[in-house]
Chain A
């Protein structure tokens, strides 16, 4: 199962969400997208949107104000 990385450092809303959305469309079910971001809003709006779509999602804060968001495509 492949993993995809997406670098969204220094990007502001809504770019991280839109990039994730675009990438997810290309992926197959079961593949994981790792979104690297330092935008405080991403851990809210990306998470909310992904849950609404029914994918698996969680995130880890990897250093101050930097997160890795993991999304597993579920459908």
Chain B
């Protein structure tokens, strides 16, 4: 019972999480040759929706340039390694929260929360295309890859977070 309390019920210390995430990221790079990244997979989902709507995202410049963001052979916008990883993260969180008996559907509180969620998502999504990833791909995996863009991303994300905090204090709280 005490182990249940400690491991499954009580939140772990942050540093435990940090160490485990680092080890998992190294394992992923070792096993697959590419480190943890999320947002390319989310763009693929968006592209899959665009395909259903009758557009042809596979022809877009974004997927046809020297940065190699096109699909790998045998993969589709919906079925690819990014999707597997992203869905697995959602399922992993679900499993953890169910074992702790803490799952609860949480509805949207009001229209303001909805608008900020949507707006924040749009700004974030746009930003990731410029910076080649989010704070996973362009930061958590980029800095250990010894690519300097990870450090630049980190520094300017602080600037963004500072502006965001100002907005939050002024309009949301």
Q: Which residues of A contact B (CB under 8 A)?
A: 9-11, 14-15, 18-19, 22, 38-40, 43-44, 61, 63-66
Contacts and interface: CB of A to CB of B under 8 A. Distances in A.
A73 B52 CA distance: 56
B135 to A, nearest CB: 15
Interface residues of B, number: 15
Interface in B70-105: 97, 101-104
Contacts of A43: 11
25 contacts: A9-B106, A9-B109, A10-B107, A10-B108, A10-B109, A11-B109, A11-B113, A15-B173, A18-B169, A18-B173, A19-B173, A22-B173, A38-B104, A38-B106, A39-B106, A40-B97, A40-B102, A61-B102, A63-B104, A64-B102, A64-B104, A65-B97, A65-B103, A65-B104, A66-B104
Interface of B: 11, 97, 101-104, 106-109, 113, 168-169, 172-173
Contacts of B104: 38, 63-66
A18 B170 CA distance: 12
Contacts of A10: 106-109, 113
A4 B168 CA distance: 24
Contact of A64 (B11, B101, B113, B169): B101
Given A39-B106, A64-B104, 11 more contacts: A9-B109, A10-B106, A10-B113, A11-B113, A14-B168, A18-B173, A22-B173, A43-B11, A64-B102, A65-B97, A65-B106
